[in-house]
A = this chain, B = another copy of it.
Amino acid sequence: MKILLLAGDGIGPEIMVEAEKVLTALALPVTLDRALVGGAAYAAAGHPLPPETLAKAKAADAILFGAVGDPRFDNVERHLRPEQAILGLRAELGLFANLRPAKMFAGLEDSSALRPEVASAIDLLIVRELNGDVYFGEKGTRTTADGQREGYDIMAYSENEVRRIAHVAFRAAQGRRGRLCSVDKANVLETSQLWRDVVIEVAADYPDVTLSHMYVDNAAMQLVRNPGQFDVVVTGNLFGDILSDQASMCVGSIGLLASASLSESTQGLYEPIHGSAPDIAGQGVANPLAMILSLAMLLRHSGGDEASAVRIEAAVAQVLADGCRGADLGGHMGTAALGDAVVAALNG
């Protein structure tokens, strides 16, 4: 398997080192390649997703992605900003299915802002559509009839886009507790009405899955009130962005959650759901566990190596159960020490 490592900006390179340690410890038959992405690529090559990087990404079986984002480039033209690299990869590689699991780890119940009895019940999977919605519709600025500047972005979903993500979500629910909640804003948006209609059509193929629908405002409320009620949640690109970040914080730290972005093939991109955290970059204090758990998802979904994925996940759970904590969880362990602890747990 050919894996492309895109470390990116901020804490990306530091946490990538720890994922590589884990990969080395597993001694798997993989070949590794590297390329620049995000602000690092813009600084070196004038574009956040240079052609060489994109070509390598297309040629790889899987991409392990750190993070992009660099405040130095917040004011360059939009299409040259670091974040465009991840949007570009999602679009160019057809990575339409973003899986964001959130589950409480044993020993972390007291780290969540939620009360322990509420937090401990969290075991959900957000399936976020990643190639459409208001992210990728026509957008720009124009002048209104009365001479005002106006910004606009077109939100849209076509039935085939909804259908393929719905199938991913229903299949995921079959492999879990059999419940799927589709989140939309069908009382206001035509995009959501079509979404809901198509999800209902697809449901006919999955009589073993219980489908429900929830408006996004209510979903944001229910994720605080009682997140344990959710099994699989399927939603569009924008609502998925908001709800998955919210869910991550319910688990205690955004430094613990991994994600997979999948295409129609087995090719995928795997990244922590946190960002580049420029405020703590270079200090060796970033939590590498989400990055390491992203590697586990890579081995599972693109490598077909469930055994190694489970080994990594068990090692991370062990390290947390043993009380290892980085600064994000009020502890003192640095990035490298946490990575070493995972490797020790893998071997022990």
> Interface on A for B, CB 8 Å cutoff?
78, 81, 83, 87, 112-115, 118, 134-135, 137, 139-141, 144, 148-160, 185, 187-195, 216-218, 220-226, 238-239, 241-246, 248-250, 254
Contact = CB atoms under 8 A, between A and B. Distances in A.
A33 to B, nearest CB: 28
B87 A151 contact: no
Nearest to A275: B218
Contacts of A141: 190, 193-194
B154 A155 contact: yes
A4 to B, nearest CB: 23
Contacts of A189: 134, 139, 151, 153
A contact patch SS: helix
Contact of A157 (B115, B150, B242, B246): B150
Nearest to A196: B151
B154 A159 contact: no
B151 A156 contact: yes
Contact of A249 (B149, B185, B225, B254): B225
24 contacts: A78-B193, A83-B188, A113-B226, A114-B114, A139-B190, A139-B191, A148-B159, A149-B158, A150-B156, A150-B158, A151-B157, A151-B189, A151-B193, A153-B156, A153-B190, A154-B155, A185-B238, A217-B245, A220-B220, A221-B245, A221-B248, A222-B249, A224-B224, A246-B246
A224 B251 CA distance: 10
A223 B154 CA distance: 28
Contacts of A221: 245-246, 248-249, 254
Contacts of A218: 245
Contacts of A249: 221-222, 224-225
Given A151-B192, A224-B249, 5 more contacts: A113-B224, A141-B193, A152-B155, A152-B190, A221-B245
A254 B223 CA distance: 14
A188 B78 CA distance: 8
A103 B176 CA distance: 38
A84 B226 CA distance: 29
Most chain B CB atoms below 10 A, which of A151, A221, A224, A245: A151
Nearest to A273: B217
Contacts of A194: 141, 149-151
The 7 closest A-B pairs by CB, nearest first: A151-B194, A152-B156, A220-B246, A217-B245, A150-B158, A151-B191, A151-B190
Contact of A113 (B115, B155, B156, B192): B115
A152 B149 contact: no
